[in-house]
Structure 1
Amino acid sequence: MGVKLFACGDVFNSTGNPAWLCSDLLRLIRDADYALCNFEAPVIAEGMRGISKIGPHLWQPESSLDCLVSAGFTHVGLANNHVYDFGDSALNLTVSKLEERGIVCLGAGSTFEQAYQYKIIEQNDVSIGLLAACENQFGCYYEDGLNRSGYAWLFHPCLEDNIRELASKVDYVVLFAHAGIEDIPIPIKEWRDRYKRLCDIGVDIVIGHHPHVPQGYECISKKKIIFYSLGNFYFDTASAGDGLGEGFSVFFNFLKNTFEYTIVYHKKAGLIMSMVGSEDVSFNLNLLNSMLCNGYNELNCKLSLELYDAYYRDYYSMAIFGGRGVFSSLLNAIKAFLVKSEPRRCKGLMLLHNIRIDSHRFIVQRALSLRFET
């Protein structure tokens, strides 16, 4: 019998579209005993204002929660870089509204303890521990004692303690992880190493998201597997024709001593996410998997240098000196934000943004080490 678990990536339903999923996907989700997604942005109420940060402020209407319920989702990960976009009040409201609907929240809350709390599901003599955590972005509980709401950090010792504790209690430990560089086909080495380390101390399955595009997966042992990025599940800002409108999910069947999984491909058609075959998406999962083996280190270094030259060098220049004069479209958007706001404060936020966020710091450190230590 076992336990059936459906796991997918980022959900951002900014209109509360009730017809967001095709009938085949709905049937599959409802066939699972439990279904888990990353709820990418909070629910807000009138008068709530965005926090001081760099980047967009995302939010979803309360009706988007009803869409989750009707689809059959039982658990949501809230450890992500947008869940704190409107501060304590919005995050606490989101947790409250989800719990009112019977949906279990993972990875975030009004206290440090709540954010790092794990959940256990048990059925048919199989037990599974669930945790969720994110890289260090605005709203992260990177240390205890912060007098605000927040979400769990992937590098906090408390996460490791909970993993070890869970591993002694359950048959499987599943970590829902929100981290990585967006829009690249491989995980950077630092995240690959971190996930493997967490597997060493007790995690059996890592389910990654945040890069918005699919990345490969690899088996660490017979019982351990890392899915580096599932890509988006439903992101209604992405058009049907671009890579942000497609991804994959995983349908697990956990037995007492082993588990099976099936890859589920999906692609957006208009505002509806449809289940499709592997031949209907633009990515090749076998190719992405092979990129984790053949020439991985060289590609990782190449991407680090390219990203530094294309983005990060200018980001730091803007934060410290006020800019270089030639920027990407993203940097232009940030520049427009600076013009409307107090420049010194926003430069500080820009610098904090690039130093705090683990992925950004990793890329810059690797690129500068490659360029100046060799």
Structure 2
Amino acid sequence: MIEMFVCGDVVNRQYNGGPVCDDAMSQTIAACDYAVCNFEAPIRGFGREQPKDGPHINQQTEIMSVLKSHGFDMMLLANNHIMDFGDEALEATLREGERLDVDMLGAGMTVEKAYLPLIREIQDVRIGMINACEAQFGVLDHNAEPDQAGYAWLNHPAIDRMVIELKRECDFVIVFAHAGLEYYDIPQKEWRLRYQHLCDLGADVIVGAHPHVPQGHETWNDSLIFYSLGNFYFSNRPNPAAKKNYSYAVKLGFEKGAPVRFTPVFHHTENDVVCLSPEGDRTDLARLDALLHEDYQRRYDEMSTAIYQKYIQPNQIRSLMGVPCDGTLKGSIKEVAATLLGKRRHLDKPVLGMHLMKNETYYYAARRATELKAKR
């Protein structure tokens, strides 16, 4: 049996030298036959900030070589920050990966390269891998030009075709997905259905990222779905609950003719270094798994309504109105004050509006929230 280590999001914005993982974690990674992380930002010093809604993130160039020294073999690039600084930064990141002989997956300087799957044969076991992300800035969707740089779209029909083709060629197929609402401990129903469909097409494992917090896992027929591995190392997160990044990685076990096995690897950040979490002070994976079934519909409805009221609806109004307004009297007064104080200079209404319309995660939440509102 071969083992693959897979962890969640990595961004190191303030690297000052030294290891990212402690000795025990580093040994755990290096002991596996192959190791994968989600490299969620381009390297620093290249390109410039692109028009988008949300923060622009990049990371120190050295972090890629540090990750390799810990045993990582592949870095996933299909995510919502990889194009924050444009083509030049992506190209520099790809070039650095090539220099270090690190596999890169999910983004490229053309549509064809971004959608290329990767096949690795390890001890006579062929594993096909795909990496794709929800539609955000940098996505290569139906409107992308062939020579356009960006990342693969998770809902593109090409992903379905790739899963089917890889299943014919390989012993196992893994889809690394980057999607969903941030900071919620359950996935949206629509993404659950999408991942289950990919399993029906032939994927043996789906590994999710993007929510920045861990979510549960489930078995779908003989396939495994991990909805979110949370953060592995993510510096400067604004959410206090994510500061220590309590989460889990997985060791996937592959053996021809047998279902994929897994072992959770619980970890957190201590003194700016990722370390193994001791029993009694770790992510409660059993609780997260239970949330996928216990009262799930109610939680899903509450989550959809909350994000719609807090973020989607006010920003829809902001993007459409010619005057400062968020749809409420109190909020509109605050918007006027913020505008007069110059705090809304960065607000690009057409870009914000496009973001809200383009991203299927927000569409799923808005649709469910308005359905519930219409039923009252």
Question: For residue 99 of structure 1, what is the amino acid of its counterpart?
Answer: E
| Aligned residue type for 1:164 | I
RMSD: 2.2
- Using the size of structure 1 for normalisation, the TM-score is 0.92
Instruction: Give the 3 Å change call, closer, same or farther, for CA 56–129 of structure 1 in structure 2.
Output: same
- What corresponds to 2:356 in structure 1? 354
Question: What displacement does 1:145 show?
Answer: 2.2
Q: For residues 327 and 189 of structure 1, do their structure 2 counterparts lie closer, same or farther at Cα, with a shift above 3 Å needed?
A: farther
Question: 1:100 — aligned with what?
Answer: 99
> Aligned partners of 2:367 and 2:146: how far apart in 1?
28
Q: Which runs of 5+ in 2 are unaligned?
A: none
Q: Residue in 2 aligned with 1:263?
A: 264
What is the one-letter code of the residue matched to 1:356? K
Aligned pair in 2 of structure 1 residues 276, 239: CA closer, same or farther (>3 Å)?
farther
Q: What residue number does 1:111 align with?
A: 110
Distance 1:313 1:291 in 2: 27
Deviation at 1:99, TM superposition (A): 1.1
Residue deviations 1:203-251 (CA, integer Å, cap 9, x gap): 1100101000011100012x30100001100011148963352210001
Rate the CA distance shift 1:237–1:326 in 2: closer, same or farther, 3 A: farther
> How many Å separate the matches in 2 of 1:101 and 1:189?
39
Shift of 1:278: 4.5
DSSP-derived class of the 1:340 partner: coil
Is residue 22 of structure 1 aligned with residue 22 of structure 2?
yes
1:5/1:252 contact within 8 Å kept: yes
Displacement of 1:121 in angstroms is: 1.2
CA contact (8 A) 2:111 2:147 kept: no
Aligned position for 2:278: 277
Kept in 1: contact 2:195–2:206 (CA 8 A): yes
Task: Using the TM superposition, give the Cα deviation of residue 355 of structure 1 relative to its aligned residue in structure 2, in angstroms.
Answer: 1.0
Contact 1:15 1:64 in 2 (8 A): no
The code of the aligned residue for 1:355 comes to M
Q: Tell me the distance in 1 between the aligned counterparts of 2:342 and 2:96.
A: 32
Using the TM superposition, give the Cα deviation of residue 317 of structure 1 relative to its aligned residue in structure 2, in angstroms.
1.5
Corresponding letter in the other structure for 1:264 = V
* Mapped partners of 2:216, 2:122: distance in 1: 30
Pick which of 203-212 and 61-70 moved more.
61-70
Post-superposition offset of 1:61: 1.6
Deviation at 1:161, TM superposition (A): 0.9
Check whether the contact 2:120–2:128 (CA below 8 A) recurs between aligned residues: yes
Letter in 2 for 1:142: D
CA contact (8 A) 1:240 1:268 kept: no
Unaligned runs of 5+ in 1: none
SS of equivalent to 1:35: strand
User: Which amino acid in structure 2 is aligned with residue 292 of structure 1?
Assistant: L
Give the counterpart letter for 1:13 in structure 2: N
The separation in 1 between residues aligned to 2:145 and 2:163, in whole angstroms, is 21
CA contact (8 A) 1:6 1:249 kept: yes
- Deviates most, 235-244 or 173-182: 235-244
Is residue 66 of structure 1 aligned with residue 65 of structure 2?
Answer: yes
Report the equivalent of 2:344.
Answer: 339
Q: Which amino acid aligns with 2:366?
A: V
Q: Deviation of residue 257 (structure 1)?
A: 1.8
Which amino acid is 2:165 matched to? E
Q: Which secondary structure does the structure 2 equivalent of 1:279 belong to?
A: coil
Query: What does residue range 1-374 of structure 1 map to in structure 2 within 5 Å?
Result: 2-16=1-15, 17-45=17-45, 48-143=47-142, 144-145=144-145, 147-221=147-221, 223-238=222-237, 242-244=241-243, 245-258=245-258, 259-281=260-282, 283-321=283-321, 322-324=324-326, 326=330, 339-341=344-346, 346-373=348-375
Q: How far has the Cα of 1:370 moved from its partner?
A: 1.4
2:162, 2:102 → 1: CA distance?
A: 22
Shift of 1:123: 2.1
Question: Post-superposition shift, 1:323?
Answer: 2.3
* Partner Cα separation in structure 2 for residue 279 and residue 129 of structure 1: 36
CA distance in 2, matches of 1:263, 1:257: 22
**1:320 & 1:124 partners in 2: Cα distance?**
56
Distance 2:331 2:131 in 1: 35
Name whichever of 266-275 and 226-235 sits farther off.
Answer: 266-275
Deviation of residue 18 (structure 1)?
3.0
Contact 2:112 2:146 in 1 (8 A): no
- How far has the Cα of 1:270 moved from its partner? 2.1
Task: Give me the whole-angstrom Cα distance separating, in 1, the residues matched to 2:220 and 2:308.
Answer: 30
For the structure 1 residues 278 and 365, does the alpha-carbon distance in structure 2 shift closer, same or farther, using more than 3 Å as the test?
farther
Taking structure 1 as reference, are residues 45 and 266 closer, same or farther at Cα in structure 2, changes over 3 Å only?
same
SS in 1 for 2:127: strand
Alignment partners' CA distance in 1, 2:37 and 2:216: 19
